[in-house]
Structure 1
Amino acid sequence: MTPMGDPVPVRPPVRIANCSGFYGDRLSAMHEMLAGGELDYLTGDYLAELTMLILGRDRMKDPDRGYARTFLRQLEECVGLAADRGVRIVANAGGLNPAALARAVRSLTEKLGVAVSVAHVEGDDLLSRAEALGLGDPLTANAYLGAWGIVECLTARADIVVTGRVTDASVVVGPAAAHFGWRRTDFDRIAGAVAAGHVIECGTQATGGNFAFFARDFPDLTALTRPGFPIAEIHADGTSVITKHPGTGGAVTTDTVTAQLLYEITGARYANPDATLRVDSIELSADGVDRVRISGVRGEPPPPTAKVGLNTLGGFRNEMTFVLTGLDVEAKAGLVRHQLEAGLTVRPAEMDWTLARTDRPDADSEQAASALLRCVVRDPDPDVVGRRFSSAAVELALASYPGFTTTAPPGDGQVYGVFTAAYVPATEVPHTAVRPDGTHVDIEAAPQTLALADLPAPVLPDAPTPGSTRRVPLGTIAGARSGDKGGSANVGVWVSSAQQWAWLVHTLTVDTVRELLPEVADLPVTRHVLPNLRAVNFVIDGILGKGVAYQARFDPQAKGLGEWLRSRHIDIPEELLA
């Protein structure tokens, strides 16, 4: 940690903005951010676990591909504006091929006649060493690098830095560390930038997008037509203010920032290759309209291991959804299931059935009278889940339950991927900055590390005195955000007041969550308590099977899991509902 007497250089805050939260985000966002106000850096996060699988398949077709091509489309319109405004760009759009993207950027800027210097960061791709590192034979194997390759490129005066698989926050940490000249052991300051980076890396999720209380906080829905992308004003001591350009949609509030801080985390320690962020240390406070200050952040040395994301091709999948209308829904489901399974000459390796009772009795529309029966099949042989499965399903059209229909005709089997995370010693992962002049600089592993460990249980407020309650949805007072972590999911739940927090932390236990969400009743569930954020975070292992592309459930990324939890009814004290 930073020594207490270490002087902090007096420099103005650095303004670092985001223009992409995923591969496919708003194409115009780069121009909006550059034209909307003053910035020092513009960053973009284009990578996710599923994206790496998509890019891996791209690279199989063409070894010169494997990067986010939309980044080039954005640059074609915006690189001149960025150069004119002196805004430097850092993005992980390089995916599996950052060197190829850097070459493409140079070719583009030369064609446009815009004089900018381009650098890239590489070393994360461990595919050629996967077997030697005990990682098997995956399609992709990418370690999560930190920020210091970006720092080296920026110090070498690069205007555009593209990377492969760095952590989402690293594209923000790198510019901040380069701007202020932080040392690698300035863990509190680095962790502050990690927190800011985590808030803005998913774009408009920090400014009202996917926000639990949108109906309460945005009664005029036009305010959410196009939420503005977020900006982090990071100070030399690691504190920051999250904001957005004036006049843009959405809002930045302590609730929108809390929601994003809880997104896809585990416990009180949030590991990063440069510093471990103590999430339990974060303090949020309003700093004016659309301004939220993040302070009090503590950091620790990073863990000695590096996370490696592995994508493998798991086989082929297909699905059919049958529409069951009116009476005898359960019997209709039983009939078509029996018929389809009996009609398959070869049974797929996996066959999952899910009946969604979306029907209502005495419904006033046919749609409201209908339920959905979904059948998902997986097998190593594409023919088993393709032609054979589809033919068996189609043959039932005139021979099954009354009112037989499906949501779509059957198709061919599609390849699916399996994501797993592995860990290797950080010293085994090369990390190379390729400067604008083409020279390569090796970035050493962190000089100081600390293995992750559980923290002592935090001090909790006293449980509230029992009183009169009302049975209402949990979301009446609690917000939530959920997301995927490989085959697992997290659900972060928070409240706004100290009184609500005293009730929530004693009420929303693992057993309560298992009761409210029957789908997780038999799965490992871990609760993490974060008093500063008045939040509890639940990690549910195995709910997504073998990862997003496996599609074990109809919500394969668990994005709606938190909203399901909020919709469940629970006894809440009357005084908290006033």
Structure 2
Amino acid sequence: MLRVANCSGFYGDRLSAAREMVEGGPIDVLTGDWLAELTMLILAGNRLKGRPGYAPTFLRQLEEVLGTCLERGIKIVSNAGGLDPAGCAGAVTELAARLGLPVRVAHVTGDDLTGHDLGGAPNADTGEPLPAPALTVNAYLGGRPIAAALSAGADVVVTGRVTDAALVTGPGIWRYGWGPDDLDALAGSVVAGHVIECGCQATGGNYAFFGEVPDLARCGFPLVELEADGSSVVTKHPGTGGLVSVGTVTAQLLYEIGSPRYLGPDVVARFDTIRLEQEGPDRVRVSGVRGEAPPDTLKVAVNYLAGYRNTMTLVLTGLDIEAKARLAEEAIWSRVPKESFDEVHVELTPLAGTALLRVTVMDADRRRAGRAFSSAVVETGLASYPGFYGLTPPGDASPYGVYWPTLVPAETVRARVWLDGRELPAAPDTSDVPRASGLPEVTSTRGTNGGEREGEGARRDGRGEDHDEDETVRVALGAIVGARSGDKGGNANLGVWVGGAERFEWLEGYLTVERLAELLPFTAGLEVERFELPNLLALNFVVHGLLGRGVAASPRLDAQAKALGEELRAGLADIPRRLL
């Protein structure tokens, strides 16, 4: 088996994780994911300010473990190269020289498509053409360039924009020699990569049933024991906090996905074929994953600067919350007309005995969205609702960007692999991979809080004819349902699961698209897709447009939809007593 350990789930994750994973037990490959969708925009901002276009925190972690990794033959693979993988590789070489360590450093390029003809870059979700010049343009590459670098003798491989799972798929191809037709094995490695890509989220972090997780404050990072057929065991180092269970792995499998057909540049992994089994304490076996030929397009992440934004947050307390919110808005817009801004978003968030009123304005004119707005809000302070106070002082507007997903023909993208500053002559070409066009859709339920769909009416109450007399108890849905949610561009995903076939039969009938809108009213009117994953006893909902134009531009308090699942679990449901 190949032991692949993760030491970073995002730019800003625990700095001690690399040392913990190297010293905590035997591993063969150390990986780290630094590139969320928002990160490329952050790195672009850094680059404009004269800072590195890669993640310097990677170098801080590397300094602690590089010598040990070379001694033990542990390979290091990371996407921390961001917008400048060559610069990051050069920094690694300089670090190694300072430490007196002989190291072979590879980096992967070809993902940067700046200047390429994107054909108008239609948005992959909405079809709209790109409305502004691009700041960054990066295709999602796969694992084969990483495998080529490792096969050429690299000790450290630094990439730019690759899929998160490629950090595991690449080492798998290197170790086992999988070809493009080894679809099931490749798909299994993609699933393994998806499980560990977000660090401690696979070992009990952010877990709905967190009371089950021991010593979460010292949660260990995950690793996978990847086998030649693509199956794997998810585990963690002994003596670390956290939990690896079917539940924690299921939760991460449902994170930031759409259809059960999980598309990637190396393979399409069928998440509706995954089998999970608790093999032992903190050991979950993942098997049965089927793969299909990848699509003939590659996803491209485009970022552009869209203007300036400013947010003021007011606190409303006690009685008449909604009336106070209306009064606050009237006072604000009497001083700065609402229609003077390109966009305005108002969000009232109820809390225990109080509420937050967030008013966000967006405009191409920095001055209009700056102190002209925030000072006007403060000026209403003595002529507004009782108990007025704010959480934000008057301040200037800040620039914001938009994440824009689009697609390009895979044959137009060529990955390039460099080792010790020299390009490898036979870098893998994406055109070598057999690809499928017009992938069939996975059956889903779509709706916008409309009427019943065919076949749903008979099961709206989640019981069915045999259980009409079942006694129900009105309790929080989270009494039996786990959930995890996240962002995918302007959309949000919400995965829910239960333990046991009987509970899933109830959930499958109860939690329709319409019911979701009842429990989460702000999803009403939005297009929502529901996908069924009975192998995981789970459903996945994709809420289109909930996050507007993506995380960086979203004015929602929960801009990444991280808490969407917990909001759902807090909703009341009539659950059969027998399931409790």
Q: Establish whether residue 442 from structure 1 lines up as the match of residue 445 from structure 2.
A: no
How many Å separate the matches in 2 of 1:462 and 1:426?
47
Tell me what 1:553 maps to: 556
How many Å separate the matches in 2 of 1:324 and 1:480?
30
Q: Establish whether residue 350 from structure 1 lines up as the match of residue 343 from structure 2.
A: yes
* Structure 1, 451-460 or 304-313: larger mean CA deviation: 451-460
Q: Establish whether residue 157 from structure 1 lines up as the match of residue 146 from structure 2.
A: no
Q: Establish whether residue 214 from structure 1 lines up as the match of residue 214 from structure 2.
A: no
* SS class of match (2:218): coil
Q: Establish whether residue 504 from structure 1 lines up as the match of residue 504 from structure 2.
A: no
Tell me which stretches of 4 or more aligned residues in structure 1 moved more than 4 Å. Answer: 130-136, 456-464
Tell me what 1:92 maps to: 79
How many Å separate the matches in 2 of 1:356 and 1:61?
35
Tell me what 1:363 maps to: none
The 5 A counterparts of 1:448-527 are 448-451=434-437, 452-455=439-442, 463=464, 465-466=467-468, 467-527=470-530
- Could you tell me which of 184, 187, 206 is aligned with 1:191? 187
Contact 1:66–1:95 (8 Å) recurs in 2: yes
Tell me what 1:108 maps to: 95
Q: Establish whether residue 563 from structure 1 lines up as the match of residue 559 from structure 2.
A: no
Shift in Å at residue 435 of structure 1? 2.4
* SS class of match (1:490): strand
Tell me what 1:366 maps to: none
* SS class of match (2:294): coil
Tell me what 2:127 maps to: none
How many Å separate the matches in 2 of 1:437 and 1:392?
55
Q: TM-score, normalised by structure 2?
A: 0.92
Q: Establish whether residue 407 from structure 1 lines up as the match of residue 391 from structure 2.
A: yes
How many Å separate the matches in 2 of 1:172 and 1:517?
36
Residue identity in the other structure for 2:540: N
* SS class of match (1:209): coil
* Structure 1, 274-283 or 445-454: larger mean CA deviation: 445-454
Give structure 2 stretches of 5+ with no counterpart.
Answer: 123-129, 446-454
Deviations 1:485-532 (A, max 9, x none): 000010011111011011111111111111111000100000000110
- Could you tell me which of 127, 138, 142 is aligned with 2:134? 138
Tell me what 2:450 maps to: none
Tell me what 1:542 maps to: 545
* SS class of match (1:49): coil
Residue identity in the other structure for 1:468: E
- Could you tell me which of 44, 54, 58 is aligned with 1:67? 54
Contact 2:226–2:233 (8 Å) recurs in 1: yes
Contact 2:481–2:497 (8 Å) recurs in 1: yes
Deviations 1:366-420 (A, max 9, x none): xxxx332211111011111112112212222223233321112121101111112
Contact 1:267–1:529 (8 Å) recurs in 2: no
Contact 2:121–2:407 (8 Å) recurs in 1: no
Contact 1:325–1:359 (8 Å) recurs in 2: no
* SS class of match (2:532): strand
Q: Establish whether residue 171 from structure 1 lines up as the match of residue 167 from structure 2.
A: yes
Residue identity in the other structure for 2:71: D
Deviations 1:290-345 (A, max 9, x none): 00000111101101000001111111111111122333433332222112111127
How many Å separate the matches in 2 of 1:75 and 1:41?
13
Residue identity in the other structure for 2:149: C
Residue identity in the other structure for 1:537: N
How many Å separate the matches in 2 of 1:521 and 1:133?
31
Residue identity in the other structure for 1:347: S
Change beyond 3 A, Cα 1:53–1:239: same
Contact 1:473–1:566 (8 Å) recurs in 2: yes
How many Å separate the matches in 2 of 1:398 and 1:125?
53
Change beyond 3 A, Cα 1:505–1:327: closer
Q: Establish whether residue 24 from structure 1 lines up as the match of residue 12 from structure 2.
A: yes
Residue identity in the other structure for 2:405: A
How many Å separate the matches in 1 of 2:555 and 2:17?
33
How many Å separate the matches in 1 of 2:572 and 2:553?
31
* Structure 1, 193-202 or 372-381: larger mean CA deviation: 372-381
Give structure 1 stretches of 5+ with no counterpart.
Answer: 1-12, 361-369
Residue identity in the other structure for 1:351: V
- Could you tell me which of 247, 257, 267 is aligned with 1:265? 257
